[in-house]
């Protein structure tokens, strides 16, 4: 098909034909189901050569050809007829050869077709025209028909080809049956954003509610029938998330007008009166609400890589802050206005054609008539889009703030940690050389990880974006492993907890008792009580009654001889017998007095050693008073209350620790043992040998502990050794007291007191809140004790010492303890 064209409106012809073809295609495909949509390529090529007839003029040959199967059912003759009816003054010759050639080329039987225009035009016109055509194509493909356009211009042999097509790109189906390509590169006018680097390369159109347009009477008369609707779609470009780290300002607004079937309504180059409506920037949107003042943007160049808006406004530059606030970095509001009939197409292609022309002509009047409705609807859509933008910015700011808090916290733990292996592992995991690098890497990977998620969000459809996060509170029941270890942890925790509670429940006295040296079980206490009662009996019998083995051993032996034999061995019972004989013979040193039961000096003997011991325990006593929740008056009240005494006396443990154990132990190990040992070993060595027995006597705890396996064998023996050593020291002290005072009462009271106090809780003292005075008390106590040890136990205070008297008589006058 060849059109010979010499009409003056060359520039319009390709448009009209393209438009017609697209309308035609849409009408055809409207009946076809979507899957069978025809696809293919439309080739538009302009070949221009310097005209031979006129100087400075190009002879152009424009070819529109369909490749593939776009216009399968196209009947050329009918097309031509239709075309002639809509484009008057347009004539064509049919070139059948070309058609047949096409027919033979296509095996599928579908006829490709070709139209050729020829015209002589000025170079400048050609350039403008080709730009206009390009723009038209761009605009078409944003509301895509499934066609690719191959546009080539060849001027004097120099070829430039551009292909327009968006059929494979993601598109958002708007509810009015039209899809909108959401790839933002179509709308970005400048290549300043490298689309590959943008976190989100899409626009997210917000579809407004369609409103009915009121058609003025005069227009109705011209054949615009049916209900006309306008559907706005608003999007921000580029995606708000690109800039969301700063609250970005809107720099411009672009309005795109689409007519029925998604065809562009206004041709930017033609000075149609429709645009007059848009001269007023706030005709549709009240920008004052957003504190923006818009002015029409006249600086629109056809030669940009993006869709040229039908109308564009830009923010009026205010006080010169354009440079950093708006400028190229600002966001563009894309406003798509779809004018369409309420119920699809009004039947025939011809009518559609006419409607398009009519709409283009009367859009201004229609819009003006329905001004308030249109404004309300657009306002709402814009407001929503901006609100979304605001929310996105807020969410992003929140995310950023949270991330930096998280990173700071991790860094603070990392840098503050004293665990070097932990620090090392952290650094290694992120392959960072030092903490600073670790910090930056941490921040970066956090950004990446969350950004990824953020993008995922972004690629969703508009409406889903508004849905609340659902999988946030995700339930996870598969946690068996963790809980296993938890149980283990909890189990051990329980044990220690109960130990703690047990200790607490026994109360103060009990804890002290268990710490004390002579913690015995009641049965042992009983057996111990039996021992000393038995011992005096034998002694008294030996003294008085005949038939005793001791008595028989050798009454003829003199004390002197006996004492002299002593170093030879304690195996011989002779010294003992001699001693006992001696005591028997000298009433001044009777057995009872020898054992420390006497009245002479009993008061100082009861008080002074106790005082001395209390001085030694100055520190622990201070600690006790600090730890006691009662103050002195309360404490005294409690101590003096008959009730508390009654409680003590009925408490077996108290009786054992405070009365029976001290009495019996002192009786056996001091009263009975020392008078026998001293003559053999001398007083000094006796003081140190006697407590060894006392210490050994506490070894039975080992068996008890071993039997019940209360702790490891090592620690049992360790504690036994410890106990042995301090009981030995304590024994030495009481033995010393016994010898120096010649009374049993002193050691018994001291023993009872020490049992009550227990071994000084030095560890607790070291961690005590009032550590300093306490430790000073400890030191002072020990110091005073050492100072007063001699003077307070001076034998002169306690009358004549039976043991010393005994030893003196035996001729051992060397004993330094006796003076």
Partner 1 sequence: MAFTPRGLEASFFEVLDQHRAFLLAALKRGGEEPAGGGMSLASSSEVLSSIEKIIQDIVTSLARNEAPAFTIDNRSSWENIKFEDSVGLHMVSHCTTRKIKSDSPKSVKNFALILKILSMIYKLVQSNTYATKRDIYYTDSQLFGNQTVVDNIINDISCMLKVPRRSLHILSTSKGLIAGDLKYLEEDGTKVNCTRATAIAVPSNIQGIQNLITDAKFLLIVEKDATFQRLLDDNFCNKMSPCIMVTGKGVPDLNTRLLVKKLWDTFHIPAFTLVDADPHGIEIMCIYKYGSMAMSFEAHNLTVPAIRWLGLLPSDIKRLNIPKGTLIPLTKRDQMKLDSILKRPYITCQPFWRKEMEIMADSKMKAEIQALTFLSSDYLSRVYLPNKLKFGGWI
- Just list the catalytic residues: 665, 698
E strands along 405-446, which residues?
A: none
Q: Please pick, from the candidates 419, 420, 464, 523, the single residue that binds partner 1 as defined by CB under 8 A.
A: 419
Q: How far is the CB of 148 from partner 1 (least distance, A)?
A: 38
Determine which helix (DSSP H) or strand (DSSP E) holds 465, and give its type and residue range: helix 462-465
Per CB under 8 A, 2 contacts partner 1 = no
Q: Which residue has the tokens 């000025």?
A: 122
Q: How far is the CB of 766 from partner 1 (least distance, A)?
A: 14
In whole angstroms, what is the distance from residue 727 CA to residue 305 CA?
101
Q: Which residues contact 432 (CB under 8 A, 6 or more apart)?
A: 438, 441
For partner 1, what does the binding mask look like between residues 277 and 316, x meaning CB under 8 A?
----------------------------------------
The answer to whether 389 and 203 are in contact (CB under 8 A) is no
Q: Please pick, from the candidates 289, 453, 460, 585, the single residue that binds partner 1 as defined by CB under 8 A.
A: 453
Q: Please pick, from the candidates 498, 527, 558, 715, the single residue that binds partner 1 as defined by CB under 8 A.
A: 498
Per CB under 8 A, 402 contacts partner 1 = yes
Q: Please provide residue 339's backbone torsions phi and psi, each rounded to the nearest 5 degrees.
A: -100, 125
Three-state DSSP at 650 gives helix
Question: Nearer to partner 1 by C-beta: 289 or 452?
Answer: 452
Q: Which residue has the tokens 């993006």?
A: 306
Q: Please pick, from the candidates 75, 101, 161, 628, the single residue that binds partner 1 as defined by CB under 8 A.
A: 628
- Give how many residues touch partner 1 by CB under 8 A: 80
Question: Nearer to partner 1 by C-beta: 321 or 487?
Answer: 487
In whole angstroms, what is the distance from residue 45 CA to residue 40 CA?
16
In whole angstroms, what is the distance from residue 157 CA to residue 810 CA?
148
Question: Nearer to partner 1 by C-beta: 494 or 531?
Answer: 494
Per CB under 8 A, 445 contacts partner 1 = yes
Token readout for 113 is 């077709």
Q: Checking DSSP bridges between strand 211-213 and strand 228-237, what pairing results, if any?
A: antiparallel
Cα–Cα distances (Å) from 782 to 43, 517, 615, 691, 758, in that order, read: 112, 20, 7, 21, 16
Per CB under 8 A, 504 contacts partner 1 = yes
630: nearest Cα among 511, 512, 508, 514: 508
Bridge partners of residue 47, in order along the sequence = 61, 154
Q: How far is the CB of 498 from partner 1 (least distance, A)?
A: 5
Q: Please pick, from the candidates 104, 476, 556, 712, the single residue that binds partner 1 as defined by CB under 8 A.
A: 476
Q: Please provide residue 691's backbone torsions phi and psi, each rounded to the nearest 5 degrees.
A: -65, -20
The answer to whether 550 and 527 are in contact (CB under 8 A) is no
Which residues ranging from 138 to 177 are in contact with partner 1 (CB under 8 A)? none
Per CB under 8 A, 85 contacts partner 1 = no
Q: How far is the CB of 635 from partner 1 (least distance, A)?
A: 10
The answer to whether 13 and 87 are in contact (CB under 8 A) is yes
Question: Nearer to partner 1 by C-beta: 323 or 429?
Answer: 429
Axis crossing angle, helix 602-616 with helix 745-757, rounded to the nearest 10 = 30
In whole angstroms, what is the distance from residue 610 CA to residue 622 CA?
16
In whole angstroms, what is the distance from residue 594 CA to residue 802 CA?
5
The single-letter DSSP state of residue 667 is I
Q: What is the 3-state secondary structure (H, E, C) of 357-398?
A: HHHHHHHHHHHHHCHHHHHHHHHHHHHHHHHHHHHHHHHHHH
Segment interacting with partner 1 (CB under 8 A) among 200-208, 392-400, 543-551, 744-752 = 392-400
Q: Please pick, from the candidates 644, 711, 715, 813, the single residue that binds partner 1 as defined by CB under 8 A.
A: 644
Which residues ranging from 506 to 525 are in contact with partner 1 (CB under 8 A)? 507-508
Question: Nearer to partner 1 by C-beta: 416 or 546?
Answer: 416
Half-sphere exposure of 626 (CA within 13 A, CB side): 17
In whole angstroms, what is the distance from residue 536 CA to residue 549 CA?
16
Question: Nearer to partner 1 by C-beta: 373 or 403?
Answer: 403
Segment interacting with partner 1 (CB under 8 A) among 329-337, 491-499, 659-667, 725-733 = 491-499
Question: Nearer to partner 1 by C-beta: 122 or 444?
Answer: 444
Q: How far is the CB of 756 from partner 1 (least distance, A)?
A: 15
Q: Please pick, from the candidates 104, 631, 708, 714, the single residue that binds partner 1 as defined by CB under 8 A.
A: 631
Segment interacting with partner 1 (CB under 8 A) among 624-632, 721-729, 737-745, 799-807 = 624-632
Which residues ranging from 545 to 564 are in contact with partner 1 (CB under 8 A)? none
Per CB under 8 A, 246 contacts partner 1 = no
Question: Nearer to partner 1 by C-beta: 37 or 410?
Answer: 410
Which residues ranging from 189 to 208 are in contact with partner 1 (CB under 8 A)? none
For partner 1, what does the binding mask look like between residues 572 and 611, x meaning CB under 8 A?
----------------------------------------
Q: How far is the CB of 626 from partner 1 (least distance, A)?
A: 6
Per CB under 8 A, 505 contacts partner 1 = yes
Half-sphere exposure of 541 (CA within 13 A, CB side): 11
In whole angstroms, what is the distance from residue 100 CA to residue 191 CA?
45
In whole angstroms, what is the distance from residue 399 CA to residue 401 CA?
5
Q: How far is the CB of 245 from partner 1 (least distance, A)?
A: 15
Question: Nearer to partner 1 by C-beta: 32 or 401?
Answer: 401
The runs of H, that is alpha helices, within 143-226 are 217-220
Number of Cβ within a 10 Å radius of residue 203: 27
Distance of CA 150 to the CA centre of its chain: 55
Question: Nearer to partner 1 by C-beta: 41 or 465?
Answer: 465
Per CB under 8 A, 222 contacts partner 1 = no
Q: Please pick, from the candidates 18, 126, 155, 399, the single residue that binds partner 1 as defined by CB under 8 A.
A: 399
Q: How far is the CB of 329 from partner 1 (least distance, A)?
A: 25
Q: Please pick, from the candidates 93, 425, 436, 710, the single residue that binds partner 1 as defined by CB under 8 A.
A: 425
Question: Nearer to partner 1 by C-beta: 318 or 484?
Answer: 484
Segment interacting with partner 1 (CB under 8 A) among 479-487, 605-613, 718-726, 745-753 = 479-487
In whole angstroms, what is the distance from residue 701 CA to residue 723 CA?
10
Question: Nearer to partner 1 by C-beta: 156 or 483?
Answer: 483
Q: Which residues contact 404 (CB under 8 A, 6 or more apart)?
A: 443
Which residues ranging from 760 to 789 are in contact with partner 1 (CB under 8 A)? 768-770
Per CB under 8 A, 131 contacts partner 1 = no
Q: Please pick, from the candidates 430, 535, 780, 782, the single residue that binds partner 1 as defined by CB under 8 A.
A: 430
Q: How far is the CB of 490 from partner 1 (least distance, A)?
A: 2
């Amino acid at each position: 098909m060849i059109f010979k064209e010499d009409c003056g409106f060359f520039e319009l012809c390709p448009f009209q034909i393209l438009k017609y073809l697209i309308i035609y295609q849409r009408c055809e495909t409207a009946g076809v189901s979507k899957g069978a949509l025809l696809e293919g390529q439309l080739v538009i090529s302009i070949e221009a050569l310097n005209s031979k007839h006129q100087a400075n003029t190009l002879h152009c040959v424009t070819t529109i050809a369909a490749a593939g199967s776009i216009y399968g059912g196209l009947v050329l003759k009918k097309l031509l007829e239709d075309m002639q009816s809509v484009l008057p003054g347009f004539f064509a010759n049919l070139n059948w050869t070309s058609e047949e050639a096409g027919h033979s080329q296509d095996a599928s039987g579908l006829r490709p077709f070709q139209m050729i225009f020829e015209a002589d035009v000025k170079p400048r016109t050609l350039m403008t025209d080709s730009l206009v055509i390009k723009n038209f194509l761009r605009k078409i493909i944003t509301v895509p028909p499934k066609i690719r356009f191959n546009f080539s211009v060849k001027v004097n042999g120099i070829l430039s080809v551009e292909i327009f097509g968006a059929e494979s790109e993601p598109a958002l189906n708007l509810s009015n049956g039209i899809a909108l390509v959401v790839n933002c590169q179509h709308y970005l006018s400048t290549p300043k954003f490298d689309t590959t680097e943008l976190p989100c390369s899409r626009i997210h159109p917000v579809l407004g509610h369609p409103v009915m347009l009121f058609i003025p009477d005069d227009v109705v008369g011209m054949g615009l029938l049916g209900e006309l609707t306008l559907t706005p779609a608003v999007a921000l470009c580029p995606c708000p998330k690109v800039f969301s780290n700063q609250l970005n300002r809107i720099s411009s607004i672009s309005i795109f007008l689409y007519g029925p079937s998604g065809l562009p309504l206004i041709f930017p180059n033609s000075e149609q009166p429709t645009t007059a409506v848009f001269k007023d920037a706030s005709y549709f949107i009240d920008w004052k609400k957003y504190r923006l003042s818009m002015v029409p943007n006249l600086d629109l160049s056809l030669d940009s890589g993006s869709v040229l808006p039908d109308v564009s406004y830009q923010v009026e530059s205010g006080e010169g802050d354009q440079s950093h606030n708006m400028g190229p970095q600002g966001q563009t509001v894309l406003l798509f206005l779809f004018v369409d009939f309420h119920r699809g197409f009004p039947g025939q292609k011809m009518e559609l054609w006419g409607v398009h022309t009519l709409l283009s002509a009367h859009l201004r009047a229609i819009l003006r008539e329905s001004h308030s409705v249109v404004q309300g609807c657009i306002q709402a859509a814009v407001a929503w889009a901006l609100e979304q933008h605001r929310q996105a910015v807020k969410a992003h700011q929140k995310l950023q703030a949270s991330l930096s808090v998280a990173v700071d916290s991790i860094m603070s733990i990392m840098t503050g940690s004293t665990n070097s292996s932990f620090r090392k592992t952290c650094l290694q995991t992120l392959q960072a050389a030092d903490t600073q690098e670790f910090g930056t890497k941490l921040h970066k990977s956090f950004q990446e990880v969350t950004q990824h998620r953020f993008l995922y969000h972004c690629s969703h459809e508009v409406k889903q974006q508004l849905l609340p996060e659902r999988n946030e509170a995700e339930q996870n029941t598969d946690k068996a492993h963790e809980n296993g270890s938890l149980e283990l942890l909890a189990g051990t925790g329980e044990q220690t907890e109960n130990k703690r509670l047990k200790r607490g429940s026994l109360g103060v006295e009990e804890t002290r008792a268990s710490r004390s040296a002579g913690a015995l079980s009641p049965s042992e206490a009983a057996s111990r009580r039996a021992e000393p009662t038995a011992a005096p009996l034998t002694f008294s019998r030996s003294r008085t009654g005949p038939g005793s083995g001791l008595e028989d051993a050798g009454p003829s032996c003199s004390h002197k001889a006996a004492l002299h034999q002593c170093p030879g061995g304690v195996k011989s019972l002779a010294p003992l017998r001699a001693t006992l004989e001696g005591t028997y013979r000298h009433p001044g040193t009777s057995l009872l007095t020898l054992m420390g039961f006497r009245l002479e000096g009993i008061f100082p003997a009861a008080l002074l050693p106790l005082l001395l011991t209390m001085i030694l325990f100055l520190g622990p006593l201070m600690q006790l008073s600090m730890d006691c929740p009662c103050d002195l008056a309360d404490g005294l009240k409690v101590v003096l209350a008959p009730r508390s005494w009654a409680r003590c006396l009925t408490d077996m443990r108290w009786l054992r620790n405070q009365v029976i154990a001290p009495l019996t132990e002192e009786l056996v190990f001091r009263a009975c043992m020392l008078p026998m040992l001293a003559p053999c070993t001398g007083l000094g060595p006796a003081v140190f040998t006697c407590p060894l027995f006392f210490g050994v006597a506490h070894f039975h705890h080992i068996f008890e502990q071993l039997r019940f396996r209360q702790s490891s064998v090592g620690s049992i023996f360790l504690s036994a050794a410890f106990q042995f050593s301090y009981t030995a020291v304590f024994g030495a002290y009481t033995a010393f007291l016994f010898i120096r005072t010649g009374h049993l009462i002193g050691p018994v009271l001291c023993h009872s007191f020490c049992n009550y106090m227990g071994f000084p809780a030095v560890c607790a003292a070291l961690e005590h809140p009032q550590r300093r005075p306490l430790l000073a008390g400890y030191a002072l106590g020990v110091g005073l004790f050492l100072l007063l040890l001699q003077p307070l136990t001076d034998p002169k205070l306690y009358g004549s010492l039976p043991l010393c008297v005994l030893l003196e008589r035996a001729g051992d006058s060397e004993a330094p303890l006796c003076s």
